C-alpha cells in the first residue's frame, strides 16, 4: 500500500511539473520566459506546445533562444513549431521552411500554422511557383480554403484542371469553401501582432 502511495505521489509531481505553464488561453499577460524554459524539456509534446505558445505571443525577446533550439532540435514536428515561432517573431525566411514542410507527413501541422497568417497574399508567391511538388501546391490550396478571399478564387481557378495528384481535388474544395465563407457575414478579424524585420536589421 505504501509503495502504491509513493508511486502516485511521484506521478503527481511529474504531472504537476509539466502543467505549470497554462497553454490554453495564452494571451498578452502570459510570461514568454516561462514557455521558453520548457523548450529544454525531454518531452517533445511539451517542447512543441511551448514553441506554439511563444509563436502566439510573438515573443521577440526570446528569439535568439528559439533560434538556438531550432538549430539543435531533432524532432521534426517540434522544429516546425519552432520555425512558426521564429516567423511570428519576425524571421521571414522561416516561412519558406514551413511551406516546404507541406510536402511531408507534417502537412496538417504546417497548414494549421499557415492558416493563421495575417493575409492570404503571403501565400500567393509560393502558389505561383511552377516547380512545386504536388503536395506543396495541395497544402497551399488547403490553407487558402481557410484563409482565402475573392482574389484567391481567381488564383485557384487554374488548379481545378490540374492533372497532378491531390491538386485538382484540393482546388475544388478550396474554391467551394471560400465561396461559402464569402457568402456568410464577415466575422471580426483577430489581431495577431507580429514584428517583421528588414533584412538589413537582422543579426
Instruction: In whole angstroms, give the CA distance from residue 96 to residue 148.
Output: 19
Residue count (the chain): 203
Contact in structure between 73 and 65 (CB atoms under 8 Å): no
Residues 6+ apart with CB under 8 A from 150: 182
Contact in structure between 167 and 134 (CB atoms under 8 Å): yes
The reported pLDDT for the residue numbered 29 is: 76
The reported pLDDT for the residue numbered 23 is: 54
Closest CA to 36 of 52, 24, 25: 52
Instruction: In whole angstroms, give the CA distance from residue 87 to residue 89.
Output: 5
**What is the assigned CATH class of domain 32-91?**
mainly alpha
Grouped pLDDT means (10 residues each) for the chain, 203 residues = 45 38 64 94 97 96 97 98 98 98 98 97 96 97 97 96 96 96 64 49 47
The reported pLDDT for the residue numbered 28 is: 66
Amino acid at each position: 500500500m505504501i509503495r502504491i502511495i509513493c508511486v502516485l505521489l511521484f506521478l503527481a509531481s511529474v504531472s504537476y511539473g509539466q502543467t505549470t505553464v497554462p497553454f490554453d488561453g495564452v494571451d498578452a499577460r502570459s510570461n514568454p520566459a516561462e514557455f521558453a524554459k520548457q523548450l529544454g524539456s525531454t518531452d517533445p509534446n511539451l517542447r512543441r506546445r511551448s514553441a506554439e505558445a511563444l509563436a502566439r505571443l510573438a515573443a521577440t525577446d526570446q528569439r535568439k533562444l528559439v533560434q538556438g533550439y531550432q538549430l539543435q532540435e531533432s524532432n521534426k514536428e517540434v522544429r516546425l513549431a519552432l520555425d512558426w515561432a521564429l516567423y511570428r517573431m519576425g524571421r521571414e525566411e522561416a516561412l519558406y521552411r514551413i511551406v516546404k514542410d507541406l510536402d511531408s507527413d507534417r502537412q496538417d501541422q504546417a497548414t494549421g500554422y499557415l492558416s493563421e497568417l495575417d493575409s492570404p497574399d503571403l501565400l500567393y508567391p509560393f502558389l505561383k511557383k511552377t516547380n512545386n511538388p504536388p503536395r506543396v501546391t495541395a497544402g497551399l490550396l488547403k490553407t487558402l480554403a481557410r484563409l482565402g478571399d475573392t482574389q484567391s478564387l481567381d488564383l485557384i481557378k487554374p488548379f481545378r484542371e490540374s492533372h497532378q495528384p491531390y491538386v485538382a481535388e484540393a482546388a475544388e474544395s478550396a474554391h467551394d469553401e471560400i465561396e461559402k465563407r464569402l457568402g456568410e457575414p464577415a466575422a471580426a478579424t483577430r489581431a495577431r501582432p507580429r514584428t517583421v524585420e528588414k533584412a538589413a536589421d537582422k543579426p
